[in-house]
Amino acid sequence: MKKSRYFWIVAIILFDQIVKYAIRSTMYVGQTIPVLKDIFHITYVQNRGAAFNMLDGKSLILIMVPLIAIGVAIWYMEKHLEEHWTLLVSLLLIIAGGVGNLIDRCFMGFVTDMFDFRIWPVFNIADIAVCVGAGILVLYTFAFYEEKEKKEIPGIVKLLNAV
């Protein structure tokens, strides 16, 4: 996984961009195609804001904040390659999803969304990558990060347990 991390980032970005291109080139904005009627539709939406269309029209913020976050995530990933694999997977998903949506925002001024479960705002593959990555990051934080800390300082842990 360490050696192929950028392959996976690029693969997810390409998959996201191909699906978005297919939606933009075959559907009109607002068009919906029922896959499972009243449960799941493919709906073409142009999201000009952040999550749930918040910050609509604040394009500088919507470009700069993700750009900084992606830079920090890449830096952190490179500095922590020896961590548990869940950290690497979470960061590469967050990076890929962030870049996928940033490409849309920079080149088109909006993010293309298409997955519509009717009870939730419409979303895309990049959104899925960011959310799954964030979920895995939470898992890493609670399940593996503390374990690593204990391994790094066993002498201090023994000393503290003795007190």
CA angle 155, 161, 163 (to 5 degrees): 105
Catalytic site includes residue 127:
yes
Q: Which of 16, 104, 113, 116 does the annotation list as catalytic?
A: 113
Q: Classify each residue of 106-140 as buried b or exposed e, where b means 16 or more C-beta atoms within 10 Å of its C-beta.
A: eeeebbbbbbbeeeeebbbbbbbbbeebeebbebb
8 Å CB contact between 32 and 41:
yes
Q: Which of 16, 104, 116, 127 does the annotation list as catalytic?
A: 127
Backbone angles phi, psi at 89, to 5 degrees: -65, -45
H or E element, residue 128: helix 125-139
* Distance, CA of 6 to CA of 130 (rounded, Å): 16
Q: Beta strand 111-116 with 40-47: parallel, antiparallel or unpaired?
A: antiparallel
* Distance, CA of 135 to CA of 151 (rounded, Å): 24
Active site residues: 113, 127
